[in-house]
Amino acid sequence: MTTNKAGSCAMTIALLLGACGETKQIGELDGGSSESGDDSGTQTASESNSSATMTTSSTSETETASGTATTPTTGEEDSSDGESSEADSSGTDTDGCDGGSVCDPQPDGDTEAAFVIDGRPAQLEPIEILERPCSIESVVGDEPAIVTLHCPMGDAIAVHTIETNVPTTLNLVPGTAVVFSHVIELPFWNEEWFSLRLDFEDVDPLLLAGGRASAVHPAVAPQLPEPFYGNVTIAEAQGVCELEPVCDVNACAQERREAIAVAAGGDEMSVYDGRTELVGDGSQFQVRVDIARSYENVQCTDVPGHWYEFVIVNVTEG
C-alpha cells in the first residue's frame, strides 16, 4: 500500500479524487483479484490487490479500476525574483513542507490497513447490506490471510471470503460460529465496511473488522440487529490536528490529520492517522488506522469531507 504518511505534504487523495466527478476506489491488496460471483456470496478469493496509492502530481495519470484518471491542476507557480513559491488557490503558503506532520504523534511509516471481501475490491458494485450467521471454514496464510466462511442459506451454503494484510490467525479457529456483516454504500465514490464477530447471545465479541469510507460506521448500522463492531466502540475524533501546509500546487484540497477513538474492555485511545496501536484491557485489539483525514479548501467536485481506512483485529491471547 503506497501512501504518503509523512505530514500529508503530497496530497494523498488522488485515487479518491482522480478525475473529480468519477467514482474512485481507494485501497486494494497486492496481487490480482478474482471477479466476484453472484449475489449469493459464492465467491472464492485468489490473490488480491490492495495498494492504496494516494498521491497527486501535476496532471499525473493514475491507474484505477475504472480506467486512467488525470489529476486536475489547481495551483500555479510564482517565479518572481527568481524564486518559486507555492500556494493553493485559497492563498495558503507552502512554507513548512519538511516531510513531517504539523501534528503529533507522527505517522509511523509502517501502518497499512487493507482488505478485500469475496475476492475483489469493491468498486461499482450494487449496494450490499449483509448480516448472516456463518462458521469459519478455514484460515490460510498470514499477512495476508484469507478467511473462508460457510454461511447457511436455506438448503444451500453461501461462501464468503475476507482477505486482509494484518495478522488474523490468532483467534480465527475453523468451526467457530460467527456473524459476518458487510455493507457497501455508493454516495458517489465507493464506501465499504465489514465485521466478523463471535455469535453470542449478548454483545458479540469482535474478531476482525475494517472500513474504507467517509465515516467509520455505515449509515445503515443503526438498522442492524447487533452493534456493527460488537464489543468494540469506535468513533471519529475530528479537529485533533491543525491543517497541514499545502505542499503540492496541484492538490485538490488541504488536509488535516484526524484520529479514530476506540474503546474496548475499559480502555480508550485515539488512534491517529498513519498509526497502529493496541487497545483493550483484557481483550486486546490491534487497531491500524492507515488513513484518517479531513479535506478543506476543496478545489475539486465530488470530494468527501473526511476519509478513513482502518482494520481492527482481535489479538487477545489465551
- The rounded average pLDDT for each run of 10 residues, N- to C-terminus, in the chain (318 residues) is 38 37 39 40 38 34 36 38 41 63 94 90 71 94 88 94 85 93 87 93 89 94 87 94 88 93 94 96 91 92 90 87
Rounded CA separation 259/101 (Å): 14
Give the domain ranges of the chain.
Answer: 14-65+86-314
Dihedral of CA 132/149/314/208: which sign? Answer: negative
Which is it for strands 259-264 and 267-272: parallel, antiparallel or unpaired? antiparallel
Amino acid 96: pLDDT: 63
pLDDT tens digits along 184-224: 988 778 899 999 999 887 778 999 999 999 999 998 888 88
The model's pTM: 0.70
Residue 252: the pLDDT is: 87
pLDDT at 269: 96
Radius of gyration of the chain (CA): 20
Integer CA distances (angstroms), 38 to 121, 159, 169, 180, 234, in order: 15, 11, 28, 17, 32
pLDDT at 125: 67
Contact between residue 6 and residue 100 where contact means Cβ atoms under 8 Å apart: yes
pLDDT value of position 249: 78
